[in-house]
Amino acid sequence: MHNSFGEALRLWRGQRRMSQLDLGLTANVSARHISFLETGRARPSQSMAMQLCETLEVPHSARNAFLGAAGFAPAYRRRELNDDDMAHVRAAVDWMLTRHDPFPAFALDKHWRVVRANSSAALLLGGIGLGEGDSLLDAMLDPELMSSALENWQEVLQHMTVRLRTESAHLGGDAVLDKAVEQLTQMTGGPASHWVSSTLPAVIPARYRAGTDTLSFFSTLAQFGTPEDIAVAELKIEMMFPADDATRDALLAMQQSD
């Protein structure tokens, strides 16, 4: 009898680099029971399948398949942000983005499509021909566009390559992100050269060209806690902060002139 749940469990345990003993200890289950689940000698309850999903940090987008392999119905939905029952989530996103002005902030899906942008981010993205609904991945893979938009574009893209690789690993492998990593690696020539220096800066800012000026930013990321919707779990809020006084002053002056 084909044991699709056991195969899925073994796959995700391998992705998380956990032995059967490690998983058993973390999930409060015996390593022997984990072995029985993987070989098909035991079948999980729904609560056990959900517990293993949590312990292995299986992304919400993959949990329905994991549950289905155990013989259970899907537990997670994917709602659009504009759906009526997502009003509270939409309001939270808009609240964060609006109050972050005059500094840029936007919401991204797992493939770096711009879902929402505040006015400052819209202005920044508009300078390179992007807006809500567009893919930042596509933009990053355009060396002509990146070199015109960013003074230190190779350095920034080297860091983005690492970030994309990490995000793909968390998802258990993602074809879109993996392809972007491969292309970015070819574009930038490999690891960031400054990593070999003895002292690293606190942050690596992205330096955007704005006419004759340069706007320098570093980013923070926020995600929803305990999401039970696939789209909400994948949504990232990226908030950019000035990396120097000149950038902060320029943005504040732009706000006051509006």
Give CA–CA dist 110/176, Å, rounded.
Answer: 10
| β-strand partners of 207 | 216
Q: What is the pLDDT of residue 1?
A: 45
Sorted by sequence, the CB contacts under 8 Å of residue 90 that are 6+ apart come out as 81, 82
Predicted confidence (pLDDT) at residue 201 exceeds the cutoff of 70? no
pLDDT in tens, 165-193: 999 999 999 999 999 999 999 988 765 55
Return the CATH number of the domain spanning residue range 86-257.
Answer: 3.30.450.180
Domains 4-69 and 86-257 are alike in CATH topology: no
pTM, two decimal places: 0.85
pLDDT in tens, 225-243: 888 899 999 999 999 999 9
Task: Give residue limits of the domains in the chain.
Answer: 4-69, 86-257
Sheet-wide strand order for 236-242? 114-117, 105-108, 236-242, 213-222, 206-210
| Residue with the larger pLDDT of the pair 1 and 75 | 75
Predicted confidence (pLDDT) at residue 135 exceeds the cutoff of 90? yes
Q: Which helix (H) or strand (E) holds 106?
A: strand 105-108
CA atoms within 13 A on the CB side of 123: 14
Q: Report the interhelical angle of 31-39 vs 20-27 (nearest 10°).
A: 120
For domain 4-69, is the CATH number 1.10.260.40?
yes
Predicted confidence (pLDDT) at residue 2 exceeds the cutoff of 70? no
> What is the DSSP track for 161-226?
HHHHHHHHHHTT--HHHHHHHHHHHHHHTSS-GGGGSSS--S---EEEEETTEEEEEEEEEE--SS
Predicted confidence (pLDDT) at residue 162 exceeds the cutoff of 50? yes
